[in-house]
Structure 1
Amino acid sequence: MYSNISTILPVTSTEPSWISIETTAASPPEEIPELWGFITAGIAILFFGSNFVPVKKYETGDGMFFQWIVCSAVMVVGIIVQLIRKQPPFFPIAMIGGVVWELGNVCVVPIVKTIGLGLGICIWGMVNLLSGWSTGRFGFFGLTESVPHNEVMNYIGVGMCVFSAIIFSFVKNEVTPINNIESEPLISQGSSGNIQDMNEDESFIDRMSPGTKRALGLILCLFSGVMYGQMFTGATYIQDHPDKFPGATTNGLDYVFSCFCGIYLTSTTFFCIYIVIMKNKPKIYPKVILPGIASGVMWGIATSCWFVANRSLSIPVAFPIVTAGPSVVASLWGVLVFKEITGKRNLLILMFGFSIAIGGAVLAGVSKN
């Protein structure tokens, strides 16, 4: 997909200027070459599509402890990026992106419980793409409107990426149950194992009717997708209005730390609330800690690269590419490594989805020029 990427824009410097540790005020909008935008988008796709591989065979329970571990690792990546960039100014408005992202992320567990992971990913992925793309394309929330050189091609590319998400939802996975690692949390709700304890463990979602569950799941999917798509809005607003923020630059890496601070603080707040609700007996699975850290580091690197791609390629171009690509990578893991996707029908659907997703990403990329 990226083999001919060097033909898009020749490299005029032996050292990429966007990774320089020096920061300057009011940097020119096009300081990051398009080539590096496509490269960082490719890295983001690879890591987003692979970041849950380390935790594939580990029990995560209700997900609250796991998400806090992941967000803690994300915070470490943000600190490293901040140090590499020689500690650029901290803008609280950029934290808003991290806060809204975590608001969407905390809904994942109830989404999975109500409508399932496959349909959930399909819906929130499409909404995420449309939310972020439309914000940059039409200049919502005070952003500068970003119009691709070829609007029609960009629209077609976005439509194909959305359609590919629908196609992937028809692929059936054969997931092997987790039975060779610890299945009990370090701290559990009860030890007697009687019916009363099991009823106390049952959440309010489990007591809903099927119709109510589905309605709640769909609402939460829409909410999560919208929140995910606004992760970059605060940072982009600063980049578009450097005159309002002394010391601001146009380098996306300078806002990674602020965004990740928002993610970590919100995640920690939710985890503390969860501990209180669970009466100081949270479900903690120790063996998921190291895999969770690996997953968080991969996600943090991918998102840092996405910050760069957004500025280099523009949000309307980068969003379709980065949101559609991970589905292809994740599916390849399922086929080649975990053997979850088998059968002629599934593989044909998968190949069709690949062609649509890759075609849409290519059209979105070409629409830049």
Structure 2
Amino acid sequence: MSSNGTDLTIGFFSSSVAVLLYGSNFVPLKKYDTGDGMFLQWVLCASIWLVALVVNLILRCPKFWPFAMVGGCIWATGNIAVVPIIKTIGLGLGVLIWGSFNTLTGWASSRYGWFGTDAEEVSTPLLNYFGAGLSVVSAFIFLLIKSEIPSNTCSVDTTSLLTEHVMSKTEESCPDYSWVDKLSAAQHRIVGCSLAVVSGILYGSTFVPIIYIKDHSKRNDSTYAGASQYDLDYMFAHCSGIFLTSTVYLLVYCIAMKNNPKLYPEAVLPGSLSGVLWAIATCCWFIANHALSAVVSFPIITAGPGLIAAMWGVFVFKEIQGLRNYLLVIFAFCIILTGALCTAFSKL
């Protein structure tokens, strides 16, 4: 990675945009029922693929490496559990758990060279470790924040930011309740936390195939010799893997539902917008990875969205109220900022 000022400016600006959009991409779905999430998943992934197609055309169709699709498959597999996680433990706690494991997995795989990739070197390893640790610690501070969200027994608001949703026993009277609504309170906690951990690990591994291709492109005896070092060149292959995997999951879901899937037409437009926001954020993440390297960008971009979600909850949806909660949000922001600066300066 070049250490000149232009690369640093581009990298940190791209990271900031990615954090803002990742923390906001569920907002368009605030007022819409998304059911079990399977249909929403496909709509969102279709929009992601369309954005990637436009980016690919702008880049004049760089070489398509099928192995890069594996990262998209990994991401789509982790993302399929988002709605069940929200229904069992809430989006707030879900983001905290999967964000923490996302940060740790992505940072560690880049820093230590897991899965056949080359280990990243930083100028000040201790500062890098400290910054990555703070990025994880900051997420757990949000566990102490209380939200005021009206309960809804027949639908789950997928953007109930920073709340732990407790399902009502009366949901069994709802005609469209999903399998997670049948679980007991204890099972909600176990299933939700377990799925969030798995999703976080998968999210943290999503860039590994691209990093693997880039690292092996420097070896003349490798299949990937001469492959591009520009991360954005792999965006289309990555998102093609996302769309293909989500389509397969939707078909399996339709078969399991005996050709009677639960569709929510009112979620199509907001779901599409959500996908567009996510795709733009991911483009920015690819740019940040190229400018800063993954070992620096990962802690910043995986920890920051929780703060943005908190801001939406405080200033727009009024879900976070009270002096204690405001102070916790400010404290968490300071921890996130410190961790991001530490990881940034560790590379200089």
Report SS of the residue matched to 2:330: helix
1:40 aligns with 2:14: yes
**Structure-2 residue corresponding to 1:361:** 340
Aligned to 1:29: none
Q: 2:5 aligns with which of 4, 7, 10?
A: 10
Q: Does 1:237 align with 2:212?
A: yes
Identity of counterpart residues, as a percentage?
46
CA contact (8 A) 1:89 1:247 kept: no
The equivalent of 1:208 in structure 2 is 183
| Equivalent residue runs for 1:172-187 within 5 Å | 172-176=146-150
SS in 2 for 1:148: coil
Question: Cα gap change, 1:62/1:92 in structure 2, threshold over 3 Å: closer, same or farther?
Answer: same
Quick one: distance in 2 between partners of 1:130 and 1:282? 36
Q: State the 1:204 CA deviation.
A: 4.1
- Which structure 2 residue ranges, 5 or more long, are not aligned? 158-169
Q: Taking structure 1 as reference, are residues 41 and 199 closer, same or farther at Cα in structure 2, changes over 3 Å only? A: closer
Equivalent position amino acid for 1:207 in 2: K
2: CA distance, partners of 1:224 / 1:275: 23
* Other-structure match for 2:238: 259
Check if 1:332 corresponds to 2:311.
Answer: yes
Assess if the C-alpha contact under 8 Å between 1:58 and 1:178 holds in 2: no
Distance 2:140 2:67 in 1: 34
RMSD of Structure 2 on Structure 1 (CA): 2.2
> Hey, what's the Cα distance between the residues in 2 that align with 1:177 and 1:220?
22
From the superposition, tell whether residues 263 and 174 of structure 1 become closer, same or farther in structure 2 (CA, over 3 Å): same
| 2:164 aligned partner | none
Name the CA distance, whole Å, in 2 between partners of 1:43 and 1:98: 21
TM-score for the superposition, normalised by structure 1:
0.83
Cα displacement (A) at 1:176: 4.9
Cα distance per residue 1:65-100 (max 9 Å; x no partner): 111111110001110111111111111110111001
Q: Work out the number of aligned pairs and report it.
A: 327
Once the 2 structures are TM-superposed, how far is the Cα of residue 246 of structure 1 from its aligned partner? 4.7
Q: Can you give the 5+ residue segments of structure 1 that lack an aligned partner in the other structure?
A: 1-7, 12-32, 184-194
Does the alignment pair 1:154 with 2:128?
Answer: yes
For 1:274 and 1:35, how far apart are their aligned partners in 2? 44
The DSSP-based 3-state class of the residue aligned with 1:38 is helix
From the superposition, tell whether residues 288 and 199 of structure 1 become closer, same or farther in structure 2 (CA, over 3 Å): closer
Which has more radius of gyration? 1
SS of the residue corresponding to residue 205 of structure 1 reads helix
1:301 aligns with 2:293: no
- The equivalent of 2:52 in structure 1 is 78
Are 1:57 and 1:178, in contact at CA under 8 Å, matched by a contact in 2?
no
Partner of 2:192: 217
What is the CA-CA distance between 1:232 and the residue it aligns to? Answer: 0.6
Q: Which of 17, 20, 29 is 1:55 aligned to? A: 29
* CA–CA separation in structure 2 for the residues paired with 1:288 and 1:205: 20
Aligned match of 1:114: 88
The answer as to whether partners of 1:75 and 1:261 remain within 8 angstroms in 2 is yes
Q: Report the alpha carbon displacement of residue 111 of structure 1 after superposing the two structures with TM.
A: 1.9
**141-150 or 111-120: bigger deviation:** 111-120
Task: Give, in whole Å, the separation in 2 of the partners of 1:57 and 1:340.
Answer: 14
CA deviation profile, 1:244-278 (whole Å, cap 9, x unmatched): 32551100110000110111111111111112222
The match for 1:275 is 254
One-letter code of the match for 1:222?
A: V
Q: Which amino acid aligns with 1:86?
A: R
By how many angstroms is 1:145 displaced?
0.4
Shift of residue 108 of structure 1? 1.5
Contact 1:94 1:259 in 2 (8 A): yes
2-side partners of 1:343 and 1:82: how far apart?
47
Out of 92, 95, 104, which is 2:69 matched to? 95
> 300-309 or 281-290, which moves further after superposition?
281-290
Tell me, in whole angstroms, the C-alpha distance in 2 between the residues paired with 1:34 and 1:215: 42
Distance between the aligned counterparts of 1:112 and 1:83, measured in 2?
Answer: 36
Residue in 2 that maps onto 1:17? none
Shift of 1:47: 0.9
Q: Using the TM superposition, give the Cα deviation of residue 364 of structure 1 relative to its aligned residue in structure 2, in angstroms.
A: 1.0
- Equivalent in the alignment of 1:3: none
Q: Which moved more, 1:348-357 or 1:55-64?
A: 55-64
- SS state at 1:175 partner: coil
SS at match of 1:58: coil
Q: Residues 53, 210 of structure 1: CA spacing in aligned structure 2 closer, same or farther, 3 A cutoff?
A: closer
Equivalence for 1:27: none
In the alignment, is the contact (CA less than 8 A) between 2:96 and 2:306 conserved in 1?
Answer: no
Which of the two has greater helix per residue? 2
